[in-house]
Amino acid sequence: MHKLCAFAFVLTLVVVVLGAWTRLTDAGLGCPDWPGCYGFHYVPATAGEHALAAARFPDAPLEVAKARNEMIHRYAAGTLGLTILLMALCSLKHSNRRYRLPAFVLLALVIGQATLGMLTVTLNLLPFVVMGHLLGGFTILSLLFWLWCRHGTHAGTRHDGRDLSGLFRLALAALVLQIALGGWTAANYAAMACTELPVCQGDWLGQWQWSAFHPHGMPAENYQYGVLSQAERATIHAAHRLWAMVTALLLLALAWRLVRRPGLRGWGLALASMVLVQLALGLANVVLHLPLWVAVAHNGGAAVLLLILTGTGERLGRHREAIWHEAWHYPPREYESGGTISR
């Protein structure tokens, strides 16, 4: 089960990166149907298949490169779904039940994620669905990593992090919100709405549009390449930048506190380093006008930051669990009379 969990985690990381690649190459509608591609279970390759695809979807011309990117992502996601199903089935026969509940939670999540993947295509890249699909992938990734850390390392390793719990929760909430803002930025094609540093173009504060964050956005038949106004896209981009600074400060503050703990120093150094790398990638996206490899790395960097916080939280949580366990399983106390009493 532990090896299966590790395989599923690595595969999820691949699927997340492939999802970013698919979105950034504008291949989200590379196949206008689901789960196949122009009525096939693979990318149409021959001239006859191309003609049949054109007849089936006359309003969606076949672009082989985009269709290939989309189908690779679907194949990887389908393999992940089967792997998690196998985890759930194996957990029913496993002598230790500790995997059972997480495995079935993961199965429910992957079913929901497949549904969002279908809606992404059938609703023509509706931004709210696209962002939800991104967050679902990150949730599965972090849960698999938590499960792997929890059952894969020495159970006696624990750290008293009661004084860090408030800052940790605040930093985690800030990071999740920042990831959601990043997903909203990508879903609305707002990554290049601001091409200046350190501010957005012109009087961005005077042109702030709260309508940019409406969950349904402007009604349209197709949301590819975005349907919001320039002012709304600039608002989304500016919000992502501003909250990035708040998130970075909270994460660096948490990293500083972790570095001062001998048992958590490695996590703190990894967190601080990744925050700086992620900030550099964000700046490079603006300065270099969103090169594909930088944008994909920026998406992957967000996943790594979430994984670092997941691993840190798992270690901090062990201490609280141990205290709770000891509170209900006290060893007997010996008294001078020689008798014992069980508390």
User: Contact 106/204 with Cβ under 8 angstroms?
Assistant: no
Residue 88: name the closest of 172, 198, 1, 3 by CA. 1
Task: Cite the beta strand spans of the chain per DSSP E.
Answer: 333-334, 340-341
Considering only the C-alpha atoms of the chain, give the largest distance between any 2 of them, rounded to a whole number of Å: 94
Active site residues: 70
Interaxial angle between packed helices 165-187 and 127-152, expressed in degrees from 0 to 180 and rounded to the nearest 10: 140
d(CA 35, CA 26): 18
User: Contact 124/289 with Cβ under 8 angstroms?
Assistant: no
